[in-house]
A and B are shown apart, each in its own frame.
Chain A
Amino acid sequence: MRHTITVLVENEFGVLTRVAGLFSARGYNIETLNVAPLQDKSISRMTLVTRGDEHVIEQIKKQLNKLIPVIKVEDISHAVHLERGMLMVKVKACSDHCDELLELVERYGGEVLDDHIDSHMILEFTDKVDVLDAILEALEPFGIIEATRTGPLGMRRGAEGFRVD
């Protein structure tokens, strides 16, 4: 089962290695990992996507909690939650297909970041993981020069927040 886990950590030297090292040392797989500090620069929030049965996920949460700089861990997969990832993609462009391309961008709520009508465009999309997959597929025929994407960020719905108490 795919699980999305959010983690608050002390934003200190080496914390990312500790988290990544934990996964490799214990043989857990890590599909994506996103991390950045927020307003309070002393804390970073991570969103981590992993796979495993309930037992493995339980251990992952406990092992994460055991890392000294980890403040809080939550598996949001069971809760009603939102996930969004971002995709940046450079596609070939030529005036023949331009309208089609722009139509696609609009359909998926994307944005054109860089526009060289007869050479290439850089597009940006923010959406669910599977939608980003679909977008990449839809762009394939135009000719993808390069692409880069983030893993998803995740957040529970509901009024309460995931923060340091």
Chain B
Amino acid sequence: MKLSGAEILVECLKREGVDTIFGYPGGAVLQIYDAIFKQDHFKHFLVRHEQGALHAASGYARASGKCGVALVTSGPGATNAVTGLADALADSTPIVCFSGQVPSGLIGNDAFQEADVVGITRSATKHNFLVKRVEDLALIIRQAFHIATTGRPGPVLVDIPKDISINICEFEWPEAVNMRSYQPVTSGHPGQIKKAVKKMLSAQRPVIYSGGGIMNASGSAVLLRELSHALNAPVTNTLMGLGGVPYDDSHFLGMLGMHGTYEANMAVSHCDLLVAVGARFDDRVTGKLEAFAPDATVIHIDVDPSSISKNVHAHLPIVGDVKIVLGQLLEEIARKNGQPDEAALALWWEQVAEWRAVDSLHFEQPERGTIKPQTVIRQVHALTEGDAIVVTDVGQHQMWAAQHYGFRKPNRFLTSGGLGTMGYGLPAGLGAQIAMPDERVVIFTGDASIQMCIQELATMYQYKLPVVIIILNNAYMGMVRQWQEMFYESRYSHSYFDALPDFVKLAEAFGGVGMRVDKVADLDATLKAAFEVDGERFVLVDVAVSREENVYPMVPAGAALNEMVLS
């Protein structure tokens, strides 16, 4: 079968099982867009900015567990995509991004809309390719999907010069991908598993700390919970790991780190065994490194060897897919009929109960007057029964969503953790809604963040996506303001807007439904109304919240986890 490069791309996407791609056309990808026009294997969603395409692909991937796919044109199309690639790299999100490139013969000539995209995206991707011959295209696409979705997932970019998309060759589908230079480890070393179980069963004060790795290894959350119950060990989640354990599970301590709960941070600071599962000891998690889990033996399970002993020394590393390794650990515990040290654990749980009693997420919501942002999140939890796919932007609202929503399942909290990308929310939310049309998607955003990718409201309108967007409007870049209050003597340098748009009118102008609420008394009714809109339009609720509320508890940057500021 003789096909053009563009047709090969379409054929490969079909064979990879792709049903959705997010993109934006331009000169260098016109051949590809023409091939897309003529096919009906997958649906193309037209975003309004290439950053949106990448974040939408991310939301799609993280909600569904599938690989996200994006298509952008050369030059500015590709440079606009860079933030989305870097974001996906930091949060280990599987995405394959195709970019058009100027014709091969013009590369290096400063041609119109030429950019060294492979160069620019090298450190923003897990890997990238420049296609040099149409004959190589199918194999490269196959490898791109393989690399994006296996091992520690991440974004892969395939740069396709225009002539490659036009050139014709015999299409051959490579059945298997076998790369001698890329062979991710899947199962944990049996010797390490045995040693780990021994340490786990003899621990007096264990803590399990799990991260985004649980989201990427479908089916691992159940095993994580089993392990924590088998060991009778408390579990804390990172921001990216929320939903790894149900929020109301008896063993759950909440999130740890800078805005984590008191009990989680104290437990980590005092534990004698820390089992890290698919987490990478980010500085927002550890605080001051020297004081992080000072008494703990560290077992670190991760698919990426370079994450192990990078920031915190792992006494017992286990490289492997977290789902497989968790299975191996449970098997070994069962084989030994292993029982944890219940006498010691009883004391440990007593201690944990004392820390829990501090109730570090407590806040006061006056019955009248201004709405506390935390109240909004809790209310939405109640209205959605803790079952929504919650997407956020970046800032205080993001932390409040993490602290107060209460997640039941994995892959339901989509947030930009590693890169902290304002603008992530709207496009990621629409991607998630496309992936999960029958699920409720709620986007919590801020008055500043929403303006970074606000153009994606048009995409929501075009595809009739019934996303509910909630602005926790404090008329501040709240998180910046909080730091300025705490560390710069309240000099609020450029952390507010003198001119905020009328978000209700804006929503309407984009074809959605806009609502505003500024009194607690009206909050419930407004939110209910928002959730009852026809299911064909997006709804934007502009919630005026108490302006100078701070996110607590907080570990100031550089402080130790047990040096939390509670209020």
Interface residues of A (CB under 8 A from B): 9-10, 13-14, 17-18, 21, 25, 55, 58-59, 62-63, 65-66, 68-71, 164
Contacts and interface: CB of A to CB of B under 8 A. Distances in A.
Contacts, number: 38
B123 A17 contact: no
Nearest to B307: A62
23 contacts: A9-B181, A10-B181, A13-B130, A14-B118, A14-B122, A14-B130, A17-B119, A17-B122, A18-B122, A21-B122, A21-B123, A25-B123, A59-B310, A62-B305, A62-B306, A62-B308, A62-B310, A66-B305, A68-B126, A68-B127, A68-B181, A69-B181, A71-B180
Interface in B480-497: none
Interface of B: 118-119, 122-123, 126-127, 130, 132, 147, 179-182, 304-306, 308-310
Contacts of B130: 13-14
A58 B309 CA distance: 9
A69 B119 CA distance: 16
A9 B130 CA distance: 18
A25 B119 CA distance: 13
A18 B125 CA distance: 11
Contacts of B122: 14, 17-18, 21
A65 B126 contact: no
Given A17-B119, A21-B123, A70 B181 contact: yes
Contacts of B180: 71, 164
B92 to A, nearest CB: 12
Contacts of A164: 180
A68 B305 contact: no
A163 to B, nearest CB: 12
A34 to B, nearest CB: 20
Contact of A65 (B119, B127, B306): B306
B152 to A, nearest CB: 8
A105 to B, nearest CB: 43
Contact of B181 (A14, A17, A55, A71): A71
A66 B123 CA distance: 12
B164 to A, nearest CB: 14
Contact of A66 (B119, B132, B179, B304): B304
Nearest to A64: B306
A59 B130 CA distance: 28
A70 B183 CA distance: 11
A31 to B, nearest CB: 22
A36 B54 CA distance: 37
A68 B309 CA distance: 21
A25 to B, nearest CB: 5
Contacts of A18: 122
A21 B118 CA distance: 12
A62 B300 CA distance: 15
Contacts of A10: 181
A2 B304 CA distance: 26
Q: In the A-B complex, list the 6 residue pairs whose CB atoms are closest, starting with the nearest.
A: A62-B306, A68-B127, A71-B181, A66-B306, A62-B305, A68-B182
Contacts of B132: 13
A69 to B, nearest CB: 5
Nearest to B118: A14
A112 to B, nearest CB: 41
Contacts of B182: 68
A143 to B, nearest CB: 41
Contacts of A13: 130, 132
B182 to A, nearest CB: 5
A58 B314 CA distance: 13
Contacts of B310: 59, 62
Contacts of B123: 21, 25
